[in-house]
Structure 1
Amino acid sequence: MSEIHDLSALRQAALFRSRELSPVDVVEHYLDRVQRLGDEVGAFITVTPELALQQARNAERRLRTEDPAHLPALLGLCVPIKDLDMVAGVRCTRGSRVFADQVADADEGYVAALRRAGAVFLGKTNTPEFGLPCYTENEIAPPARTPWDTTRSAGGSSGGAAAAVAAGLAPFAQGSDGGGSIRIPASVCGLFGIKPTRGRVTSAPLRVDTLGLAVTGPLARTVADAALLLDALTLGDPADLFTAPPLPAGETFLAAAHREPGRLRVACFATPPLPEATVHPEVLAAYHATVRLLEELGHDVTEITPPFDGSHMRHFATVWAVTAAGIPVPAAAEHRLRPLTRWLRDRGQRTPAPVYLEAVGELRRFARAALAAFAPYDVVLTPTLALPPVPLGYFTASGDPADEFEKMNAFTPFGNIANITGQPAVNVPSGTTADGLPLGMMLLGRIGAEATLISLSAQLEAARPWRDRTPEVWHR
């Protein structure tokens, strides 16, 4: 048999059911890799071997004693959880040394759903402080690095999740995305990542996001694995502010991964919706190669001029700052926060309510304009990022948080469109730079149409396979 981490999540699940593979052996394999390689790529803040082994033993017992037809979909499969979110009885730092000793007393709603689906929790993956930056560097864990070049950032804020999957420390992982935080690390780590439709995954019990910018989703090496995890994460709650259109009866995202997408109308643009941002030539080359591939696959591809002048970035920054200011932090601990966090919180605290309400209204106006421009098309293609993976410390080199924030916007000018509109969006691995660094393209879909994105992504994966490309650390 291949090395365990060479197996897809779906293949592992099939081997569990045929009793050719033991969940306990799989957990022990991953825990060994986490111990040897986890700090090298900065994947985890907290590892939970006792919890994972107990869950694996429970899964093994169920596989021996229960009807396979009635077993939950993720039984025995390892799913790391991003350390912004709660797993009952496990440390939840939120990427901040201020909360380094905080232990969660409850599960997030989706974490409870993953438990019911039989998932095994290896630990909590690395994230920047409160998930605010697009890179993963903090004071409580090694920086998250792309396994393709460990001198470079794994992105953020789901950087640890992406590093874990790309380094073979887990078959897939949960992430969250409020401004690109699944798609950014998926791009720089060579993974497939899904930011679902607003409201697809519950934010219960505690997270309150009045704009619905952030949503939970999967990162994986294959489209089908990501679809499997998204099916398990899909969970509504009557108290949620937002709900996504329901899937048709009997439909699953996994089924969509095994279905041809049909002939689609695809809009595309590579002009950043931020005038001062510049798209790197190698990113542009990958974008044009993807356009050609879509045309070869029979889709109708139309280049469009996006109706954006960049003003939405200013309003998004206002909302981001007010959101940061709203995070409860003891006054006596404020000085222990990272410079960017303090800068954002200060900016947010000084923002008058009318200015914040104006920013919210302007983002809604932007969403209407974007959705109207995209309405004639099934899918919209853009680069995921303006640049290839950047070195560690790239954003913080000047020591000026305002400069850092501008660099982040220029790095990911396309990312927050889907968060503002609520559309589903994915990162599809799309070749490499001349130095072998991963590049990704973003596909945006209609509200509620994750299945279309998954089917199209699976078609691209079959036409231009990426799964067998692995970094050097994979083979250790």
Structure 2
Amino acid sequence: MSALHELGALDLWRHLHARDVSAVEVAQHFLERIERVDDAHAFVHVDAELALARARAVDDADDRTGLIHGLPFADKDLTQRAGQPATFASRWMAGNVADATDPVAQVLDDAGGVTLGRTAAPELGFAGYTRSALHGPTTLPGHPGLHAGGSSGGAAAAVAQGLLPFAPGSDGGGSIRIPAATCGLVGLKPTRGRIPAQGGVGTIGGLVTAGAIARSVIDVALLTDALIGRVNGVAPHALTLRSPERDDGSLLAAAVRGEGRYRIAVMTGGTPWDETDDVRISPEATAAVDATVAALTAFGHEVGEVALPDASGYPEAFTALWRGGAAAAPIARERRHLLEPLARWIVETSDGLTAGGLARAQLWATAFERRVLAAFAPWDAVLTPATALTPRPLDWYPEDGEADFRHQVLHTPHTSFVNVTGLPAIALPVHRTTEGLPMGVQLIGRPGEEATLLAIGRQLERRIPWPQRVVDAMRP
């Protein structure tokens, strides 16, 4: 058997199920590895006592059928777990401890997972990189001068370093796909409503959903099934979105099969941010798309083009929805000085957001969603770059809050509109630059059609076998 951290999550689960190794042994291995290897600062809190107690309970349980029985994971620093730090990566919340566990953490416990601690996020999750005054920056593993992406950057850096076999994240504008693509991993943002515990339904704008990051398509599918809460392959939760075009079979099965021939379009016509920002697609991002098109064509898929529908007004609408979420945060004015520039800019500008302005933004977003769904409907998947630029240097984002936001747009102009429309999307690490930096693409699917994205992703994984070794194995 390979070293535990070199195994994929599904392979590790099989060894646990066969009792080749215990959950305690697995937890001990990864805890030791976190202490020794985490150069990228993926973790902001590790609770070995809690992890080992949980692992012992999993080992002692009669039922070993949990989808992620005995597998280690970590909560993103924006997720609350009773008795654990709950700072949301902000000095405003320093020292706070959660008194309850969020549903998205509980569903992974119920599936047999073993949490080891908390992975890094930017303050309040507002950034497409991972850095906070409270915890410092999370860097691209193997490249300490570059950002790991965000806001689930700690999750991605943990997986890339072999500190976890997979990791849950959350995505409100690209926060799973950006760090996955940056760190050379697979990241899936499910359809709005697909994850009952955190699916975006009932929130302002419906932007944020839980999702999964892993080194392989199969492992992403496994964790996503666990997040859905499947029992014996079925999603029993009344609020789980189901695709009208397929039965409720597991996503893992679809990923393992990796079958089908599909109609896939490359998105043309610019980005939703072109109205306000000078977005430029780098040659490296174009090369990633070109490599994907070549592989898809070789597989026999039909590849064409589809234009992004009219997005006039998108920047104003999206920022209004983003500010609407910030306005709900109970941050007293006298404590706003504790916020970092980006979060302070978003929170303070939310003061001027009126009920009418928020309603108009939501109505615009709904109309835009309908235009995008109509345009994309003939296609099984739509292809874009995951990021427009290569991984960014640590000093690239300005200290001014608004300028910081504008730089994020330039880096990742293709991700947030997928949250606005509620569609599923997967980031795939199909390309490496001449310097060896990961560059990914994004495939956007129809509502509820994660299985199609996983099948296409699995085919690309076979055709363009991206590195799945952990980063420290590739150190000079």
Aligned positions of 1:445-460 closer than 5 A: 445-460=445-460
Match of 1:466 in 2: 466
- Out of 90, 108, 111, the residue aligned to residue 117 of structure 1 is 111
- How far is the alpha carbon of 1:212 from its aligned partner? 1.2
- How far is the alpha carbon of 1:473 from its aligned partner? 6.2
Match of 1:365 in 2: 367
CA distance in 2, matches of 1:419, 1:246: 21
Match of 1:37 in 2: 37
Cα separation, partners in 2 of 1:208 and 1:34, compared to 1, 3 Å = farther
Match of 2:74 in 1: 80
Identical-residue share of aligned pairs (%): 41
- Out of 249, 252, 259, the residue aligned to residue 251 of structure 1 is 249
Aligned positions of 1:11-30 closer than 5 A: 11-30=11-30
1:129 aligns with 2:131: no
Q: Identify the range of structure 1 (27-36 vs 300-309) with the bigger mean alpha-carbon deviation.
A: 300-309
Match of 1:418 in 2: 418
CA distance in 2, matches of 1:176, 1:208: 16
Deviation digits for residues 211-237 of structure 1 (CA, Å, limit 9, x no counterpart): 211000110001111111111100489
- Out of 239, 246, 265, the residue aligned to residue 267 of structure 1 is 265
Q: Which has the higher strand share?
A: 2
Match of 1:291 in 2: 293
Residue type of the alignment partner of 1:300: E
- How far is the alpha carbon of 1:37 from its aligned partner? 2.7
**TM-score normalised per structure 1:** 0.93
Match of 1:311 in 2: 313
Q: Identify the range of structure 1 (75-84 vs 22-31) with the bigger mean alpha-carbon deviation.
A: 22-31
CA distance in 2, matches of 1:411, 1:200: 27
Residue type of the alignment partner of 2:2: S
Match of 2:395 in 1: 393
Match of 1:140 in 2: 134
- How far is the alpha carbon of 1:393 from its aligned partner? 2.6
- Out of 125, 148, 154, the residue aligned to residue 154 of structure 1 is 148
CA distance in 2, matches of 1:86, 1:147: 26
- How far is the alpha carbon of 1:261 from its aligned partner? 3.2
- The answer to whether the Cα contact below 8 Å between 2:182 and 2:438 also exists between their aligned partners in 1 is yes
Aligned positions of 1:163-182 closer than 5 A: 163-182=157-176
- The answer to whether the Cα contact below 8 Å between 2:186 and 2:213 also exists between their aligned partners in 1 is yes
Residue type of the alignment partner of 1:324: A
- How far is the alpha carbon of 1:210 from its aligned partner? 3.0
1:278 aligns with 2:280: yes
CA distance in 1, matches of 2:204, 2:19: 46
- The answer to whether the Cα contact below 8 Å between 2:309 and 2:372 also exists between their aligned partners in 1 is yes
- The answer to whether the Cα contact below 8 Å between 1:290 and 1:430 also exists between their aligned partners in 2 is yes
**Unaligned segments of structure 1, at least 5 residues:** none
Cα separation, partners in 2 of 1:379 and 1:356, compared to 1, 3 Å = same
CA distance in 2, matches of 1:334, 1:429: 38
- The answer to whether the Cα contact below 8 Å between 2:199 and 2:209 also exists between their aligned partners in 1 is no
Match of 2:322 in 1: 320
- The answer to whether the Cα contact below 8 Å between 1:272 and 1:279 also exists between their aligned partners in 2 is no
- How far is the alpha carbon of 1:53 from its aligned partner? 0.7
Match of 1:55 in 2: 54
CA distance in 2, matches of 1:329, 1:238: 34
Deviation digits for residues 351-401 of structure 1 (CA, Å, limit 9, x no counterpart): 2222221111111111111111101101001001100100113112xx321
Q: Identify the range of structure 1 (89-98 vs 291-300) with the bigger mean alpha-carbon deviation.
A: 89-98
Residue type of the alignment partner of 1:338: E
Match of 2:209 in 1: 215
Count of matched residue pairs: 467
Question: Counterpart of 2:96 in 1: which secondary structure?
Answer: coil
Match of 2:90 in 1: 96
- The answer to whether the Cα contact below 8 Å between 1:197 and 1:244 also exists between their aligned partners in 2 is no
- The answer to whether the Cα contact below 8 Å between 2:204 and 2:325 also exists between their aligned partners in 1 is no
CA distance in 1, matches of 2:136, 2:28: 23
CA distance in 1, matches of 2:42, 2:244: 34
- How far is the alpha carbon of 1:332 from its aligned partner? 2.9
Match of 2:232 in 1: none
Cα RMSD, aligned residues only: 2.2
CA distance in 2, matches of 1:306, 1:456: 21
Residue type of the alignment partner of 1:170: L
- How far is the alpha carbon of 1:248 from its aligned partner? 5.1
CA distance in 1, matches of 2:451, 2:176: 18
CA distance in 2, matches of 1:427, 1:377: 18
CA distance in 2, matches of 1:262, 1:147: 34
Q: Identify the range of structure 1 (72-81 vs 204-213) with the bigger mean alpha-carbon deviation.
A: 204-213
- How far is the alpha carbon of 1:247 from its aligned partner? 8.9
Cα separation, partners in 2 of 1:207 and 1:141, compared to 1, 3 Å = farther
- The answer to whether the Cα contact below 8 Å between 2:218 and 2:252 also exists between their aligned partners in 1 is yes
Question: Counterpart of 2:192 in 1: which secondary structure?
Answer: coil
CA distance in 1, matches of 2:449, 2:114: 29
- The answer to whether the Cα contact below 8 Å between 2:273 and 2:279 also exists between their aligned partners in 1 is yes
- The answer to whether the Cα contact below 8 Å between 1:227 and 1:454 also exists between their aligned partners in 2 is yes
CA distance in 2, matches of 1:475, 1:410: 30
Question: Counterpart of 1:443 in 2: which secondary structure?
Answer: strand
- The answer to whether the Cα contact below 8 Å between 2:306 and 2:376 also exists between their aligned partners in 1 is no
Deviation digits for residues 145-167 of structure 1 (CA, Å, limit 9, x no counterpart): 11141210011110100010001
Q: Identify the range of structure 1 (187-196 vs 350-359) with the bigger mean alpha-carbon deviation.
A: 350-359
Deviation digits for residues 396-429 of structure 1 (CA, Å, limit 9, x no counterpart): 2xx3212111111111110012101111100011
Match of 2:221 in 1: 227
Q: Identify the range of structure 1 (323-332 vs 42-51) with the bigger mean alpha-carbon deviation.
A: 323-332
Residue type of the alignment partner of 2:464: R
**TM-score normalised per structure 2:** 0.93
CA distance in 2, matches of 1:250, 1:323: 32
Residue type of the alignment partner of 1:269: M
Question: Counterpart of 1:150 in 2: which secondary structure?
Answer: strand
Residue type of the alignment partner of 1:387: L
1:187 aligns with 2:186: no
Aligned positions of 1:345-356 closer than 5 A: 345-356=347-358
**Unaligned segments of structure 2, at least 5 residues:** 230-234
